[in-house]
Amino acid sequence: MLFSSIPFLYYFLPMVLIAYYLAPKSVKNMVLLIASLVFYGWGEPTYVILMLISIGTGYLFGILIEKFRETVWSKICLIVSVTISLGFLVYFKYANFFITNFNKVTGSSLKILNVVLPIGISFYTFQIVSYIIDVYRNQVKAQRNPITLATYITMFPQLIAGPIVRYSDVERQLVKRSISFEKISYGIRRFCFGLGKKILIANVLGEYCAVFKATDEKSIIFYWTYAIAVSLQIYFDFSGYSDMAIGLGSMLGFEFIENFNYPFISKSATEFWRRWHMSLGTWFRDYVYIPLGGSRCSKKRLILNIFVVWMLTGFWHGAEWNFIVWGLYFGILLVLEKSFLLKWLEKYKIIGHLYILIFGIMSFIIFDAISMEGAISHIGVMFGVTDISLMTYITRYYLKSYLIVFIIAIIGATPVPKILIKKLMKNKIGNIIIKISEPIVMAILLLVITGYLVDGSFNPFLYFRF
């Protein structure tokens, strides 16, 4: 089930919220757990069993790690638990990738496994692993109540698309949380804006990208605008789902961490990754980069650490070479910045903005590519390597058709709208206008979105690969 679907918006969510609000505090977690399992099992009920096994092993080994603390058995339990969790992830997500590449290198003909990638397995696996490691580090206490731990891992708002919520961030909220009119109001507003970003911006930009891929009459401008469109599509899709997750969490009384902070206003790749998918970046920092030695080591080891982390970051996004190259691409930029480039970029901020916009856009061509040959060819055309027209009638036609969405997306990818609204709210009359108009705008937005969904408009789910 997807957030951006009629069954979720008009059947599942209202019924869950009614049951949740009416339930006594003592059984709210049980209501949320059942709802989350129904949500996850809607499209693939078989993999609910896999998730429950993963949760069960995490629960058991968390208790054993705490029981055997200060002994070698605690570390053994940690290794076994992490191995089981990552083993499931590797088997379902990466086994066929390894088999395919092994066959290519050796000329073997090993059969591809008949497995389907469970949606959200990367997200809930990382949550279980972080919980187990934090228990081992004595940063959190092992959860004795299996319902509470299962509720944390399966919580449907962040189950299939993030953010990656750590147990330590919601430990207290799982036991004691408050539901207020302000939280519900904020949650509805945040959810509706996230849904609007997904349906009215990301999906429409996705249509433009689909048109580009389908037509043979391309131009240099068409290649550039596609690159911009796919970058913005991925951003608004990812950040839109994060907004919806945060909004849903607020409706349920939870406070989830922010996951995106206007990454396209960055002045370096270092800053970009402090603003893009922040929960993933901090996860790799705390559970991979720092344990490897972080930056407190020799220069050679630092470079190795960066490349290991960014190779894994890319690989986390999908079992294809383009994702690995995408991760290593950012690894190269980060190494260059740590070596000498960052000081120069911070000194000349305008150049820094242009640098990350150009290199960021090129990175998403790699991210979206079917093959590396296609990505390299695309980038070459953008910079005039191939002799094609600068502009064609087809390019002009589609640019005019999608121009308004491009403008909205570019402005919306900056904090300008947020700053303007905050300034308006400081004015007494402006504050009144916003408070009166907000529910009307939300209702109109939801009505328009519903129209798009009923019409069966372009509505891809980018997280199938994750």
Neighbours of 267 (CB within 10 A): 20
137 and 260 share one domain: no
In this predicted structure, the answer to whether residue 169 has a pLDDT above a threshold of 80 is yes
Beta strands in 184-255 (DSSP E): none
Last residue of a domain, one of 150, 177, 204: 177
User: For 388, phi and psi rounded to 5 degrees?
Assistant: -130, 170
Q: What is the mean pLDDT of the chain?
A: 91
Domain count across the chain = 2
Q: What is the pLDDT of residue 459?
A: 64
Query: Within 13 Å of residue 149, how many CA atoms lie on the same side as its CB?
Result: 27
Q: What is the pLDDT of residue 360?
A: 93
What is the mean pLDDT of the segment spanning 76-98? 94
- Is residue 307 a part of any domain in this protein? yes
Considering only residues 55 and 299, tell me which one the structure prediction assigns the higher pLDDT. Answer: 55
Q: What is the pLDDT of residue 434?
A: 83
Question: If we measure between CA atoms, which residue out of 263, 232, 265 comes closest to residue 349?
Answer: 265
272 and 367 share one domain: yes
- Is residue 255 a part of any domain in this protein? yes
pLDDT digits (tens, 9 = 90+) for 327-372: 999 999 999 998 888 889 888 889 999 999 999 999 999 999 888 8
What is the mean pLDDT of the segment spanning 157-177? 88
Last residue of a domain, one of 162, 177, 192: 177
pLDDT digits (tens, 9 = 90+) for 438-453: 888 888 988 998 888 8
Q: What is the pLDDT of residue 196?
A: 93
Last residue of a domain, one of 177, 199, 214: 177
pLDDT digits (tens, 9 = 90+) for 25-55: 999 999 999 999 999 888 778 889 999 999 9
Alpha helix positions (H), 252-320: 269-275, 278-284, 290-292, 299-317
Q: What is the pLDDT of residue 460?
A: 67
Top mean pLDDT of 149-163, 239-253, 296-310 is at 239-253
195 and 92 share one domain: no
- Is residue 95 a part of any domain in this protein? yes
Encode burial over 222-259: b for 16+ CB neighbours within 10 A, e otherwise: bbebbbbbbbbbbbbbbbbbbbbbbbbbbbbbbebbeb
Write the secondary structure of 37-66 as one string of H (helix), E (strand) and C (coil): HHHHHCCCCHHHHHHHHHHHHHHHHHHHHH
98 and 159 share one domain: yes
161 and 61 share one domain: yes
- Is residue 94 a part of any domain in this protein? yes
Q: What is the pLDDT of residue 397?
A: 92
107 and 169 share one domain: yes
- Is residue 339 a part of any domain in this protein? yes
What pTM did the predictor assign? 0.92
In this predicted structure, the answer to whether residue 255 has a pLDDT above a threshold of 60 is yes
Q: What is the pLDDT of residue 120?
A: 86
42 and 95 share one domain: yes
Q: What is the pLDDT of residue 461?
A: 60
Residue ranges making up the domain that contains 212: 183-454
Q: Which two tokens stand for residue 12?
A: 């599942």
Encode burial over 339-378: b for 16+ CB neighbours within 10 A, e otherwise: eebbeebeeeeeebbebbbebbbbbbbbbbbeeeeebebb
173 and 208 share one domain: no
Question: If we measure between CA atoms, which residue out of 453, 443, 444 comes closest to residue 11?
Answer: 453
What is the mean pLDDT of the segment spanning 98-110? 90
Q: Which of 277, 317, 353, 378 is catalytic?
A: 317
353 is catalytic: no
What is the mean pLDDT of the segment spanning 267-292? 93
pLDDT digits (tens, 9 = 90+) for 187-223: 999 999 999 999 999 999 999 999 998 888 889 999 9
423 and 447 share one domain: yes
- Is residue 243 a part of any domain in this protein? yes
162 and 203 share one domain: no
420 and 300 share one domain: yes
